[in-house]
Structure 1
């Protein structure tokens, strides 16, 4: 599996796991209906506590990225991820606000900020399109 966690990072492991799985979906490395390892298997594979994996999976389930079946296990949502709606766009704005504020405080220009956003967006999007 493509999961690579940074155990030295300030970001919690479960958050890194969430982000890696979502990026895998965005890059089409994980497709609707694809199976993910069980909580125990994922924890053993990457050497982390099973409660950490469970926390990440529960968040992903709540956000509609995965389904957890008693018999089928953990799968990427078979119908794909729901399209962005008003609630998501409000959340996006709320989450971007501190990054924008810090960038302004650090004297990053709007052009440089948007260039970084475009670069990352295109990098992830292009990897997904080549699959």
Structure 2
């Protein structure tokens, strides 16, 4: 496995350190002494990094995440992919479905049935795009 694969898309241990708020030395120690726990930390940081990148690079993605974050708590049923475009005043159910698929893959939401999707964990970091 290459070092970039081992770091789940993150640049290096310094990048991981910035995301998780631990020193590089502590992360190196964790990697040596508890590799499974280190893998969990890396995967979680990778998901945070991908979420941040998606929010910054895609306004619609950002709008959906902000809507969910502002209106729902962990365990709540969130707006369906059919209703979300109307709430955001856009016509794009396929785009909403694509955003939901990414959020589910990254562990933020879970579709329980065709009519119920719940928020599993809060969005811990949401970059502010400012007013455009």
Q: What TM-score do the two structures reach when normalised by structure 2? A: 0.42
The one of the two structures with greater contact order (alpha-carbon pairs below 8 A, sep at least 6) is 1
